[in-house]
Structure 1
Amino acid sequence: MLEASVQSGQLAAILLMAVALGLDAFSLGIGVGMRSGMRLGYMLGISFMIALFHMLMPLLGLFAGHYVGILLGHVTGLAAGGLLLLLGGHMIYNALRGGEGQRIHPTAFLAMLLFSLSVSIDSFSVGVSLGMFVDDVWLIVVSFGIVGGLMSILGLLLGRQVSDKLGEYGEMLGGLILVIFGIMFII
């Protein structure tokens, strides 16, 4: 059984927040998974990195404090939205050019790092908020990481399945999904 410091209401709230934050990773994973040539090993690498960022960002938020969260609230959304717009726009551009241009491979370390950061950045603000009323930091961090990692691999796998059926339009649709989410983060 869990420690007495975590009440059932707190545990339910933590798990609901973990799922809500993981939905970004799931949805965006579908878009990235639609990119042709995504291998399972790379998908696992991206999901592992997302899980790490889903643990690191709320941990940083928990320790950063209330004022930093208020100050950076809009900036984090703009940064995440901008990164997604760039990645999605580039995917659409390459799909329209028939893959002639230089591609940003989501399997490259820097691309995986930027993607993981963009889907996990909202965890920072949630971590700041949770730090005010929850004492069990490790439960929050581990829950967010496990749920974020699992939801991202499910999204990537679903995206790969959809891409196989859509053929050459899969990358364009994936880029469009990322652009839409980027705009939603900015608004």
Structure 2
Amino acid sequence: MTEIVGELLTLLIMAAALGMDAFSVGLGMGMYKLRLRKIFEIGILIGIFHVIMPLAGILAGKLLSEKFGTLASWIGGLLLILLGAQMIWSSLKKEAESVITPVGFGLLLFALSVSLDSFSVGLTLGIYGAKTVLVIICFGIVATVQTWAGLLLGRKVRGWLGTYSEALGGAILLAFGIKLLGTFFG
């Protein structure tokens, strides 16, 4: 039982780290003064993408771990480190980002862009044999809630928190990657 609670806690922290992208972009998108129905739809779509992408990653990761064993585990740890570093780096860049409108194709593009990193994490979790259903439920629910929180908060606040939340998410993923690699070194 303790093992399941530990795994659930780890997955929730990872899900929160991955959802920081959706939260921070949601802050900016919340400036559109979207209707609550649209905020609801956006959150659900982001949650669905945060289920599909890690599921695809997990399936690919399980295939890799069966074929390549320890090498695949190393790759998984390195992917988390690279993904975390990339999130931190992109949060530090001061360039203006192009705004994607939250309708039609723009909304699908937005959902895909904020969930791409969950594919890499899913790949790593697949390599390590994480429980698939638990992963996708955690990732989907947390991403949905964080998207809603970002959009709603964006209606109230002007984007001062966005950059810092993405950097925090990157730092968490970086730490998990280092921890996974640390198991090989002692």
Q: Which interval holds the TM-score relative to the shorter structure?
A: 0.5 to 0.7
Q: Determine the C-alpha separation between the residues in 1 that align with 2:98 and 2:18.
A: 25
Q: Determine the C-alpha separation between the residues in 2 that align with 1:152 and 1:25.
A: 5
TM superposition shift of 1:7: 2.5
Q: Determine the C-alpha separation between the residues in 2 that align with 1:9 and 1:145.
A: 19
Conservation of the 8 A alpha-carbon contact between 2:60 and 2:126: no
Conservation of the 8 A alpha-carbon contact between 1:21 and 1:148: yes
Answer 1 or 2: which has greater helix percent: 2
Please name the residue that 1:139 is paired with.
Answer: 134
Taking every aligned residue pair, what percent have the same amino acid on both sides? 42
Please name the residue that 2:39 is paired with.
Answer: 43
> Which of the residues 24, 27, 31 maps onto 1:30?
27
Gaps of 5+ in 2: 65-71, 91-95, 171-186
Gaps of 5+ in 1: 82-87, 92-103, 163-169
> Which of the residues 128, 144, 153 maps onto 1:158?
153
Conservation of the 8 A alpha-carbon contact between 2:58 and 2:124: yes
> Which of the residues 10, 14, 23 maps onto 1:13?
10
CA 1:7–1:158: 2 relative to 1, 3 Å? same
Conservation of the 8 A alpha-carbon contact between 1:5 and 1:136: no
Question: Which AA in structure 1 matches 2:11?
Answer: I
Computed over aligned residues only, the root mean square deviation of the Cα atoms, in angstroms, reads 3.6
CA 1:27–1:90: 2 relative to 1, 3 Å? closer
> Which of the residues 56, 72, 95 maps onto 2:52?
56
Residue deviations 1:70-118, cap 9 Å, x none? 6xx689x79xx7xxxxxx6444xxxxxxxxxxxx631x12111111111
TM-score normalized by the length of structure 1 = 0.64
Question: Which AA in structure 2 matches 1:146?
Answer: I
TM-score normalized by the length of structure 2 = 0.65
State the number of aligned residues: 148
The list of structure 1 runs, each at least 4 consecutive aligned residues, that deviate by more than 6 angstroms after superposition, is: none
Conservation of the 8 A alpha-carbon contact between 1:5 and 1:135: no
